Structure 1
Amino acid sequence: MQTSSLILGIVIGVVIASPFAWFIGRQRSVLLSGKVQSLEERNSALEKANLASNSIDQMLKPVQEALTELKTKSEDADRRRIDAESMLKNEMKTLRERNESLEVATRQIASAMGKGQTRGQYGEMQLEQLLKHAGLLEGTHFQRQDSRAGVDGVARPDVSILLAGGGEVLIDAKFPWDAFFEAMGTNDQAEKAVLLDKHAKDLGKRINELSAKEYQTTSAKSPNFVILFLPFESLLTAALDFDGLLLEKAFGKNVIPATPTTMLGLLRTISFGWSERDLNNNAEEIRNMGAEMLKRLVKLVEHIDTMRSGLSKAVDGYNSFVSSFDRQAVSQAKRLAQKGVPTTKQIEAPEEVSTGLSKSRFSGENGRLELEGLED
């Protein structure tokens, strides 16, 4: 009875619980279906977003490549800029060092040029180069610092150039410098004009000093002038800009200002005179040497003719021998062969030499070597 009641209770419980279980299952099924649909929708949205992202990536890819290339070029440009800045710094440093060295050298030159003796030595160096270009030799065509008695004691021109016909041209190489150098170093036009005017006056003063020394009177055959050598063309042109009569004044005082251009022309003219003198002095020696050479040629022709005569006699002797050999030996050998005497090679007489020899003759009238044909 109790068992039946228990079974009945279970059945009733199942019947009563089944609707609830179905309802709960239904609710869970609906809920799960909604979640699945939501997940599918989210998945679809993600797939669409992924496709859109890929499309954007494809669209942005050229931009990214361009940005990458731009970045590479920018980095390369920075690297080259850094290298260029480094090189520029080194060049600026080198330029600064050279400029400092140049300033030191300029100050040294300016200081050295401030001494008259040094200026004279520099002028002599420039003049020596011109003398070499003109082909003049020291000791033969010119002398340096040749002392002689002057108006105020011992006169010593810087260079004495000897002339081919006798006499000499005297040159002084000391020149004014200070005012000219200062003028070239200033940018103030007014100051430059004042300094160049002073330079013109200094050059005029130097001309007067040189004229007072009267170097030309110390040589018996010297032309009545002395040359003032100016190693820079601008030393004279700058002075002439402020004193147009400077040359006329110098010529009146028997002083000839000469720059490298005019000096080289004068020196080459003097060198040409020496060349002509040497040619004239050597003309007799050249004639004697020519006569001796012709004498030797005549003797040589005599020896050649003697050789020709000997060779002609040798040819005549050879031909006589060949003719006799042919008559005396070859003909007899041929007769022996005809009689049956065995021989390994037929004997033939050598051919005679028929080449004619020429006789040489030297003509003193036209200085030609002539050949006269001889038929032997």
Structure 2
Amino acid sequence: MEIIFLLAGLIIGGTAAWFICSYKNISRAVVSSEEHEQIKSELNTAQNEKARAEERNKIFEAAQKQLQVELTEERNKIVEITALLSTTKSEHKNVQLKLEEQKADIVNLQEKFSKEFEILAMKIFEDKSTKFTVQNKENIDSILRPLNEKIKDFEKKVEEVYVSDSKERATLFQQIKTLHELNQQMSKDATNLTNALKGQTKTQGNWGEFILETILEKSGLVKGREYTVQESITTHEGKRFQPDIIIKLPEGKTLIIDSKVSLNAYERFVSSEDERDRAANIKEHIASIRNHIKNLSSKNYQNLYDTKSLDFVLMFLPIEPALSLAIQNDMNLFNEAFEKNIVIVSPSTLLATLRTIASIWRQEHQNKNALDIARQSGALYDKFVGLLDDLKNIGDKIKATQNSYEDAMKKLSTGRGNLIGSVEKIKSLGAKTTKALPQNLLDSVEEDELNEL
């Protein structure tokens, strides 16, 4: 770049010098007025060329300075990065050196302790060689073993720290890599979702139904008990309907929710920067919502269950900002929908409504449980009274049985001619027997009866 500027300067200077010399030579000679004017014009042209060349030179110099500044900044960045890399390498090298030093210290410490205890053992052996026994050897081992174990534990901990540090660095690198991949995947998924929602109407409808089911799961209502999804209903006329959600209410009432997605015009409104296009997109967006209201009203979902259904149907719009935009630009949407027995709800208002219904169901279940508890408590009390009566009867029967038992035992062992005395008398008369009556029964026989035996 400097060589170019130098060559440009030399050319401009040479041209100017040539014109000046030519002008001086002409002034000395006798020339005509026309030649004089021509020379003067050429001189002016040369001066203008010189001025333009100087201006270009200034531009070149400014550009050179700017490039020089940028080059300096890039060099500074390279220097900083190089310094950072050097610092990182230096720190890594220092860590490696410290680990090597610690390992060397451990080895030296082991050698030192080994030598010292070898000397100590030799001294003890020399001083008490005549009294050396297995017990002395065990005593030395008991002294050396704990210290040796501590040294091994210390070496193990140092090795664990080194391994752990290496694993943590590898884990950190893997986590950063995973985070990067996750970020790319999230961006890809967001793009795919946006493209999908911009595409087919069926895809938009499925997405709206997914959002609706997600809100239902968070509401506290139980699927299959308090609400059903995509339940098929056939009317008396043979027409088949399949509402998105049917909410069951106490006393057999029902509430129907149908999801509608109006996205295309709203997406164009958000993406557009031209005010005319945005105004047109708003009108198209409102018209799309009106069309959803009209189509849903024509199905008369509120009459599917005759008197069991509420007088209105909830039309769910999953994109809350889209609904807010439509209401801000047309306040009559709510009234028009309500006149057609439709209430427009967004995710926030629907969730509040569903949680209110869930609270009503909880109260209903509690009331039902209270009635069941009262009924079961009464039945339990009646059974308890019956059990007491049965126990009393059993006690009376046990008492009667005990009395009968005592009377029977008295007949066996008391009174003249009791059975025990009689059969024992038969034995004493010489009857051959292989068994004897229990002594406690014989003891219960009256003394007079035994004397007769």
Q: Which moved more, 1:118-127 or 1:250-259?
A: 118-127
Which among 158, 169, 178 is matched to residue 244 of structure 2?
Answer: 158
Q: Which residue of 2 aligns with 1:255?
A: 342
Distance apart, 1:160 and its partner CA: 0.5
Cα distance in 1 for partners of 2:228, 2:371 equals 29
Which among 177, 180, 192 is matched to residue 278 of structure 2?
Answer: 192
Distance apart, 1:250 and its partner CA: 0.9
Cα distance in 2 for partners of 1:244, 1:284 equals 48
Q: Does 1:138 align with 2:145?
A: no
Cα distance in 1 for partners of 2:183, 2:230 equals 37
Distance apart, 1:147 and its partner CA: 1.6
Q: Does 1:129 align with 2:214?
A: yes
SS of match in other structure, 2:250: coil
SS of match in other structure, 2:256: strand
Distance apart, 1:95 and its partner CA: 8.2
Percent sequence identity over aligned pairs: 29
Letter of the structure 1 residue corresponding to residue 218 of structure 2 = H
Cα distance in 1 for partners of 2:210, 2:328 equals 27
Residue correspondence of structure 1 range 19-168 to structure 2 within 5 A: 76=83, 102=187, 105-112=190-197, 114-149=199-234, 153-168=239-254
Task: Give the direction of change, closer, same or farther, for the CA distance of 1:190–1:101 in structure 2 (3 Å limit).
Answer: farther
SS of match in other structure, 1:169: strand
Task: Give the direction of change, closer, same or farther, for the CA distance of 1:113–1:146 in structure 2 (3 Å limit).
Answer: farther
Q: Which residue of 2 aligns with 1:238?
A: 325
Cα distance in 2 for partners of 1:230, 1:74 equals 53
Cα distance in 2 for partners of 1:133, 1:283 equals 27
Which among 290, 312, 332 is matched to residue 204 of structure 1?
Answer: 290
Post-superposition CA distance 1:10-42 (Å, at most 9, x none): xxxxxxxxxxxxxxxxxxxxxxxxxxxxxxxxx
SS of match in other structure, 2:251: coil
The answer to whether the 8 Å contact 1:114/1:177 transfers is no
Cα distance in 1 for partners of 2:81, 2:316 equals 63
Distance apart, 1:228 and its partner CA: 0.7
Distance apart, 1:288 and its partner CA: 3.5
SS of match in other structure, 1:172: strand
Cα distance in 1 for partners of 2:223, 2:80 equals 69
Cα distance in 2 for partners of 1:187, 1:98 equals 28
Letter of the structure 1 residue corresponding to residue 337 of structure 2 = A
Cα distance in 2 for partners of 1:75, 1:153 equals 78
Task: Give the direction of change, closer, same or farther, for the CA distance of 1:191–1:139 in structure 2 (3 Å limit).
Answer: same
The answer to whether the 8 Å contact 2:196/2:203 transfers is no
Distance apart, 1:197 and its partner CA: 2.3
Which among 260, 268, 273 is matched to residue 360 of structure 2?
Answer: 273
Residue correspondence of structure 1 range 278-293 to structure 2 within 5 A: 278-291=365-378
Task: Give the direction of change, closer, same or farther, for the CA distance of 1:242–1:73 in structure 2 (3 Å limit).
Answer: closer
SS of match in other structure, 2:373: helix
Which has a greater percent of helix? 2
Distance apart, 1:181 and its partner CA: 1.8
Q: Which residue of 2 aligns with 1:171?
A: 257
Cα distance in 1 for partners of 2:81, 2:323 equals 59
Kindly tell me the number of residue pairs found equivalent between the two proteins.
229
Distance apart, 1:130 and its partner CA: 1.9
The answer to whether the 8 Å contact 2:249/2:255 transfers is yes
Distance apart, 1:295 and its partner CA: 7.6
Post-superposition CA distance 1:200-243 (Å, at most 9, x none): 11111111111111111111211121111111211210111221
Cα distance in 2 for partners of 1:227, 1:212 equals 14
Which has a greater percent of strand? 1
Cα distance in 2 for partners of 1:130, 1:195 equals 29
Post-superposition CA distance 1:136-172 (Å, at most 9, x none): 1111111111122358932111010011111211111
Q: TM-score, normalised by structure 2?
A: 0.43
The answer to whether the 8 Å contact 2:256/2:313 transfers is yes
Distance apart, 1:100 and its partner CA: 9.1
Task: Give the direction of change, closer, same or farther, for the CA distance of 1:75–1:223 in structure 2 (3 Å limit).
Answer: closer
Distance apart, 1:117 and its partner CA: 2.8
Post-superposition CA distance 1:227-284 (Å, at most 9, x none): 1111121121011122121111111111111011111121122212222222232233
Q: Which residue of 1 aligns with 2:267?
A: 181
List runs of 5+ in structure 2 lacking aligned partners: 1-78, 88-175, 392-453
Q: TM-score, normalised by structure 1?
A: 0.51
Letter of the structure 2 residue corresponding to residue 142 of structure 1 = Y
Distance apart, 1:79 and its partner CA: 6.0
Q: Which residue of 2 aligns with 1:54?
A: none
The answer to whether the 8 Å contact 1:117/1:174 transfers is no
SS of match in other structure, 1:170: strand
The answer to whether the 8 Å contact 1:171/1:229 transfers is yes
Cα distance in 2 for partners of 1:285, 1:196 equals 56
RMSD: 4.2
The answer to whether the 8 Å contact 1:170/1:227 transfers is yes
